[in-house]
Amino acid sequence: MKPTDLNSFNTLSNLVGKGTTLVVQSTRMDFETNTYISELWKRSNGQWKSFKTGNNNFSNPKFGDKENTVFYIKTNRSVQDKSRSKKTLSTIHMQEGRSIDTVFEVEGGISNYSLSKDGKSIYVITSEWSKEFKNIEDKNSEPMYYENLPFRFDTRGIIYNKRAHVYKVNIRTKKFTKIIDGDTKDIISIESLVEGGKGLVLSFDQYNSKGTMLEEKIGAIESSKIKEIYSKGSMGNLFYYEDGLHAVGMRKRFDWPTNTTVLKISNTGKVSYKYHSFDRNIVKAEVNEGILYFLYEDSGKTLLRDGTNNIDLINSEVTIKDFAFNNEKTYVIANSFSNPDEIYELSNGQLTEISKANESFTKNVKTWDCQYERIDTGKSEIDAWGIFVGKDKPTILNIHGGPASQYAFTFFDEFQTYASAGFNVIACNPRGSSGRGHDFLRDVCGNKWGVTDMHDVLTSFKSMKKIMGITNKNDGIMGGSYGGFMTSWIISHHPNMFKSAIVERALLNWETMVGTSDIGIGFPEMYLLDDMDKNINLYRKKSPITYASNIKTPTLILHSQEDYRCPIEQAEQLFSNLKRRGIKTAMLRFPGESHELSRSGTPNHRKQRFDHVIKWHKDNLT
């Protein structure tokens, strides 16, 4: 796979089913327009047909009360411009057979919607300019006056002047009422909304009383007012099960890092664990025909489980991304290490492919399979993956972000592209990663930060090279976010170990990140287990910038201009240090991109990023 192949495969999401029909969202890059094309595909009577999109993107499909009624969000594909001065319209369409009808339209964004239980209305969640900001003509030149943090949030951009609302829309008459006014309630965003026996319940974000961070709350809508139910946790994916309100998330937001799990929420705000002893990260839950199903991470796999009967429906080396049901059949979107997304029927633990979304890609583009090992590091057991290109070829060590995430048996364009460029690839899930339980997640906190994880990364890397029979000693290292932290940490603590490094969107200085990151208040304390004002020496001790003068490795620093998670000042500090000392270095910065550049940045920037990464490693390793 080459960087030019990035537009050759489809990413599937939002799978829904009803009766004998399935609908799925398919998204791919388009280099010519430098945008993403999102389409909907419908499977009926065993045949797939696409919705005609024109110059629009269709997303987030949902079935109405009839099998031939499908709702979806429509946005203009040509308006993928982040300029705040442009007016953008988002609409919800309803398609019944061949008839297409506009149900609701708004200036701004539609983040989600749900159908009422009686099938007569839809509840629409929007993100719009705040009342004070809406009528300003030249929004780009308006001074920013804000009183709270964060005033911006990664991928969402500037948020102090945005508010979230809920509209109730009559599907047939198109008349609507605003049942939640985000301006008067000061609601920054709404994560989830569900209708149950006692009405509408939603999870939403407001600034806390000090104005220092966003506080997630759960509340019930009562006559255009919100009765607060719970405010201490971090929960989305609300749903009703066995007549009780449930959510996926954490009971206390400052418990992070820990597993997200299924929680039951009483009317009085008491929160209890549904699966207290299930020590894995649950990422999505849904109820079908009275049975609770959920996706969870386990040692590089993402699997589907029947939570009601405590049965895994599959236990293969795959990543299940989404699931849906119709006519008592179970369907999933799944991929594996060398194969991108397809839709499968899941029965008796086996997958039967029913889509051809990436048939052309798999026929025409060479991909690489992996070698998986469970490595005993002497202090831990670590899941590791490798792609073997040749024993005399250089090797790139990849380190994931988070750290509470996981590399997996999943199709990953990064690994495939580096292997095709002629590099062996090695990656692992050190302590701090998800998929191995609560204690594993927390084994990097406090003074363990940069100690246990570095031991796991380097020990696994050396072991995998030996197991794979790689004799070439030209090794490179790279990673993004936490992976960028670990890359810079390793090359400053082991300056002669690697001959090439790429530090991407990295956390490099805890001290300055506290004041500049969108999560600067809260996140550092969760991992370092102390407040900066009380223990500034710990924050400096655990920052790679403190040891940057030890770095000798040729280092490319890659960062996005609008990265608000790890702001670009982090990268500039490292570049200045290396350049001042005469170390071979360069900085590559992408305008208009966020922390998510490598995953959802504009297609041309993603391709350019790959071109620079490959060139840097080739120049220094071959």
Structural element, H or E, at residue 360 = helix 359-364
- Is the pLDDT score of 82 beyond 50? no
What share of the chain has pLDDT > 70, as a percent? 98
Residues 251-275: pLDDT tens digits?
999 999 999 999 999 989 999 999 9
Q: How sure is the predictor about 85, in pLDDT bands with cuts at 50, 70 and 90?
A: very low
Give the pTM.
0.96
CB atoms within 10 A of CB 69: 18
Confidence of residue 280 (pLDDT cuts 50, 70, 90): very high
pLDDT at 87: 62
Q: Where are the domains of the chain?
A: 100-274, 368-621
Q: What is the CATH number of domain 368-621?
A: 3.40.50.1820
Q: According to the model, what pLDDT value does residue 27 have?
A: 98
pLDDT grade, residue 613 (50/70/90)? very high
| pLDDT number for residue 327 | 86
In whole angstroms, give the CA distance from residue 202 to residue 509.
Answer: 36
Extended strands (E) in 271-423: 271-273, 281-288, 291-298, 301-306, 311-312, 319-326, 329-336, 339-347, 350-353, 371-376, 381-387, 395-399
Structure confidence at residue 84 (pLDDT): 40
State both tokens at 619.
């120049």
- Confidence band for 315, pLDDT divided at 50, 70 and 90: very high
- The strand pair at 555-560 and 585-590 is best described as parallel
Cβ atoms of 574 and 506 within 8 Å: the answer is yes
CB-CB contact of 259 with 438 (8 Å): yes
Reply yes or no on whether the pLDDT at 102 is more than 90.
yes
